[in-house]
Amino acid sequence: MIDKVFWYRVHKLKEIKYYAKQKNLPVWHMPVIDSIMICILGSIYISDYLVGSIPSDGWFAVVSPYMPLLLFTLSFLTVMDLVAKAMVNVHITLIKLVHGGITKIDHYIWKRTKKDNVISTKILNFQLKYMALPKSTKRRLKILLVLMIILYVTIRLF
């Protein structure tokens, strides 16, 4: 029974792929990952609020360490696919805003210098250079980027 419910919810998350394809979103993994992260963070914050506001005696003291897991499971079983669909719409909106901004900047540069598609060409050249790199170099660059983000977050926190 429980495995059927679990696989049904996983199937509902896989339907996000087709929903994103209908909306012309090229990368469907990101909204799903975003929805998982939103549900994890939401369950952590809600459990922190519940543990802080309810006196911890009796049965609640036993359950409180597992509260984030329980709330995440509840959100997975109820609203995760709806959050993923909302995140698809957010990603589509962000892509349209970024594309519109690049177009406006290109148009502004064209009016000033009469050079066509300066920003778009730079972005395309950068993508082509990145795609021409060997797989090992790409992996090293990704690891370096993750390490830089971790370093930045660590410095900001302390």
Q: What percent of the chain has pLDDT over 90?
A: 50
pLDDT per position as a tens digit, 102-143: 999 999 999 898 888 889 899 999 999 999 999 999 999 999
- Can you give the pLDDT at residue 92? 95
What distance, in Å, lies between the first and last C-alpha atoms of the chain?
Answer: 47
pLDDT per position as a tens digit, 64-87: 788 888 899 889 888 988 999 999
At residue 47 the predicted structure's pLDDT band, cuts being 50, 70 and 90, is confident
- Can you give the pLDDT at residue 82? 92
Tokens of 26: 């090229």
Q: Alpha-carbon distance 63 to 73, whole Å?
A: 14
141 or 58: whose pLDDT is higher? 141
Q: In angstroms, what is the C-alpha Rg of the chain?
A: 22
CA distances from 129 to 122, 124, 132, 135 (A): 11, 9, 5, 13
The three-point CA angle 17-20-23 to 5° equals 155
Q: Where exactly are the structural domains of the chain?
A: 2-116
DSSP letters for 98-126:
HHHHHHHHHHHHHHHH---SHHHHHHHHH
- Can you give the pLDDT at residue 53? 76
